């Protein structure tokens, strides 16, 4: 009895921790919010555990002026810098497998690239690579890139898939990414490039990048700046550019859109008011078990949902998302061992009796 | 429940900051409203807190510099201001011993928590919180202090520590669990 009580209590505590952590993540969705409010209303114990954690977290803020805490904080910033330097040093000796982290899907490798190297990820997998110049590259599910760094420049070829880059500044060597027919040139900045068939999507989170459709390379920044205006498209932070065949669309000042497009980096993909068709093609990027839309009448339904990325249980996560769609929308999921098929639910369940 | 009609906050400043503020309000207002909603659970003060957060930001000295940082960190910054506003209100209500809405609401949530001993025990609690932080494992502690005291978003913490965001999230949950265990049972 006692044991069961403790187990329940522990479970409540964990849920509370999760909600408080999510609350401060800044990317709570409407679904998260209603889940939280529902959970709080379920049981006074839930509310108490949640409020208690918020209270303690709030209270810790009063330690901001505390000498020991200030020292710890400085130490945390400093220790990390040192550790990164150490890592780079190790990297010079050899390409070393560094950390295998987390229940989700991210691993951190350190890449020592003398000459060229291929990085790739399997379906449902995500990996972060610390490159030799200190930049970090995160590959999304099912992607392949070729890294080619030398004294003249830093070149990356995106063969297929999606890459997020946090680029280290190097005035002597600009960093370029080739994707399909386009070349993206970056200064110190954070952005992602997604190539899928002939469709290219670039989302800039920080700094700015230039996109050109020819193959000019700018080895030095001065040269780059001089030719900056010459025919290339400049994207500032918050911009999303899409290229498809001859079509080109640029959305500016859309931080929210950039965040959504890069949400896969935090282990979940968010969909906000997108067509079912778009949602499913995105889901299929992560899942071995594919989802098919059998009925064109449902393809344009507007969907908001979240897909959690979990390499071990990806099929389970897809199923979870689909069954939540089933609840809200007139959709029926037909489950096969190797695929999920979506059809319109025309009240068949009600009429069956 | 939560008021979802997006009311645009009107902010005026003569020095040209208002554009930046307007942009920030547009970008972050839904997230801020959701955050405050989840902290106050549809309490009537909800809308006030959202408005006051933007007003406080507008009054900051270094507002332009603050708002030019990355998205994540601007959002973290807004959330910590909103947290302070909520705390200020709660504190004032507590010292006046007035059972206004917020106090009553809070008291219901915490059980007995507005008594005279509360002021004393808050000091003790703070010492306990500090001890709990000091005892965290180094990785977990770094993640927590960088987020809480340096104001870094989870993503920035992840980038600083060269680990994944989900790892940082685990550290944060662990830190919260340890605060709770240490202060309430230890």
Domain end (from B114, B135, B155): B114
Asked if B63 and B53 count as a contact pair (C-beta separation under 8 A), the reply is: no
Is B169 a member of any domain?
A: yes
Chain A residues whose beta carbon lies within 8 Å of the beta carbon of residue B154:
25, 266
Please tell me the number of Cα atoms within 13 Å of B64 on its side-chain side.
Answer: 6
Q: Which CATH number covers residue B168?
A: 1.10.10.10
Handedness of CA B1, B5, B6, B12 (dihedral sign): negative
Same domain, B76 and B156: no
Q: Which of A6, A18, A22, A72 to mutate to test the interface with B (most CBs of B within 10 A)?
A: A72
Half-sphere exposure of B155 (CA within 13 A, CB side): 23
Evaluate if residue A234 carries a pLDDT over 90: no
The three-point CA angle A195-A199-A202 to 5° equals 60
- The residue of chain B nearest to residue A129, with distances taken between CA atoms, is B162
Q: Are residues B42 and B82 in the same domain?
A: yes
B74 and B163 inside one domain: no
Nearest CA of chain B to the CA of A54: how many Å?
A: 8
Domain end point (choices B95, B114, B133): B114
> Is B1 within the bounds of a domain?
no
Q: Do B67 and B129 fall into the same domain?
A: no
The number of CA neighbours under 13 Å toward the Cβ of A66 is 19
User: Average of pLDDT values for A255-284?
Assistant: 87
Separation CA A16–CA A51 (nearest Å)? 9
H and E: helices and strands count for chain A: 9, 20
Asked if B139 reaches chain A (Cβ–Cβ under 8 Å), the answer is no
Check CB contact under 8 Å for A108 and B150.
Answer: no
- State whether residue A345 is helix, strand or coil: coil
Q: CATH topology for A267-351?
A: Ribosomal Protein S8; Chain: A, domain 1 (3.30.1370)
Closest CA to A149 of A163, A164, A168, A162: A168
Residues B120 and B104 in one domain: no
Q: Nearest residue of B to residue A41 by CA position? A: B41
Same domain, B107 and B18: yes
Q: Is A257 on the interface with B (CB under 8 A)?
A: no
Q: In this prediction, what percent of chain A has a pLDDT beyond 70?
A: 80
Mean pLDDT of B136-142: 93
Tell me whether residues B163 and A36 touch, CB distance under 8 A: no
Domain assignment present for B23: yes
Q: How far is A45 from chain B (nearest CA, A)?
A: 9
State the total domains in chain B.
2
CA A179 to chain B, closest CA, distance in angstroms equals 25
Whether residue B2 lies within 8 A of chain A, CB to CB, comes out as yes
Confirm whether A96-259 and A267-351 share one CATH topology.
no
This model of the complex carries an ipTM of 0.79
Considering B91, B114, B137, which residue would you say is the last residue of a domain? B114
Quote the radius of gyration of chain B (alpha carbons, Å): 18
Answer yes or no: is B6 within a domain: no
∠A336-A339-A341 over CA atoms, to 5°? Answer: 80
8 Å CB contact between A291 and A283: yes
Least confident of A110-114, A215-219, B7-11, B132-136: B7-11
In a domain, B137, yes or no: yes
Per-residue pLDDT of A43-78, as tens digits, reads: 989 998 998 999 899 889 889 889 999 988 888 887
Domain region containing B70: 11-114
Residue B60 inside a domain? The answer is: yes
Q: What class has domain A96-259?
A: mainly beta
Q: What is the pLDDT of residue B104?
A: 45
> Using a CB-CB distance cutoff of 8 angstroms, which residues of chain B are in contact with residue A20?
176
- Residue boundaries of the structural domains of chain A: 2-63, 96-259, 267-351
| B3 found inside a domain | no
Which comes out higher in pLDDT, residue A216 or A171?
A: A171
Q: Are B71 and B123 within one domain?
A: no
Answer whether residue B145 is part of any domain.
Answer: yes
């Amino acid at each position: 009895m006692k044991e069961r009580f403790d187990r329940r209590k522990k479970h409540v505590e964990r849920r509370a921790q999760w909600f408080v952590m999510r609350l401060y993540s800044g990317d709570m969705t409407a679904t998260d919010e209603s889940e939280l409010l529902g959970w709080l209303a379920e049981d006074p114990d839930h509310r108490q555990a949640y409020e208690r954690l918020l209270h303690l977290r709030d209270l810790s803020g009063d330690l901001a002026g505390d000498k020991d805490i200030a020292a710890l904080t400085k130490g945390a910033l400093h220790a990390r810098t040192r550790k990164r330097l150490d890592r780079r040093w190790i990297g010079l000796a050899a390409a070393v497998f560094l950390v295998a982290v987390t229940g989700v899907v991210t691993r951190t490798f350190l890449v020592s690239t003398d000459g060229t190297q291929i990085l790739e990820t399997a379906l449902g997998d995500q990996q972060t690579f610390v490159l030799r110049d200190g930049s970090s590259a995160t590959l999304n599910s099912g992607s392949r890139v070729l890294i080619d760094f030398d004294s003249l420049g830093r070149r990356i070829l995106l063969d297929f898939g999606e890459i997020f880059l946090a680029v280290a500044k190097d005035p002597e060597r600009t960093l370029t990414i080739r994707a399909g027919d386009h070349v993206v040139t970056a200064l110190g900045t954070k952005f992602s490039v997604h190539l899928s068939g002939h469709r290219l999507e670039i989302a800039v989170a920080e700094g700015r990048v230039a996109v050109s459709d020819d193959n000019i390379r700018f080895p030095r920044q001065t040269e780059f700046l001089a030719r900056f205006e010459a025919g290339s498209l400049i994207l500032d932070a918050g911009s999303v550019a899409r290229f498809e065949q001859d079509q080109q669309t640029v959305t500016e000042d859309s931080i929210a859109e950039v965040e959504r497009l890069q949400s896969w980096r935090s282990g979940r993909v968010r969909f906000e008011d997108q067509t079912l068709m778009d949602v499913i093609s995105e889901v299929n990027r992560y899942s071995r078990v594919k989802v098919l839309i059998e009925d064109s009448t449902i393809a344009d339904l507007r969907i908001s949902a979240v897909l959690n990325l979990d390499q071990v249980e990806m099929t389970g996560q897809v199923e979870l998302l689909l069954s939540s769609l089933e609840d809200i929308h007139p959709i029926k999921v037909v489950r096969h061992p190797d695929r999920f098929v979506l059809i319109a639910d025309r009240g068949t369940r009600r009429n069956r009796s | 429940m939560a008021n979802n009609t997006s009311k645009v906050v009107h902010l005026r400043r003569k020095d040209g900051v208002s554009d930046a503020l307007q942009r920030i309000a547009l970008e972050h207002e839904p997230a801020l409203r959701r955050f405050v909603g989840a902290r106050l659970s549809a309490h009537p003060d909800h809308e006030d807190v959202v408005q006051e957060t933007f007003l406080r930001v507008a009054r900051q000295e270094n507002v332009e510099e603050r708002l030019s940082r990355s998205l994540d960190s601007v959002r973290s910054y807004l959330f910590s201001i909103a947290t302070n506003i909520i705390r200020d209100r709660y504190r004032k209500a507590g010292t006046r011993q007035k059972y206004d809405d917020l106090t009553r609401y809070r008291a219901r949530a915490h059980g007995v928590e507005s008594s005279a001993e509360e002021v004393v025990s808050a000091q003790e609690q703070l010492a306990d919180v500090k001890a709990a932080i000091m005892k965290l494992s180094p990785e977990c502690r770094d993640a927590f202090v960088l987020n809480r005291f340096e104001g870094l978003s989870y993503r920035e913490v992840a980038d600083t520590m060269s680990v994944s965001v989900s790892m940082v999230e685990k550290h944060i949950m662990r830190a919260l669990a340890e605060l709770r265990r240490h202060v309430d049972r230890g």
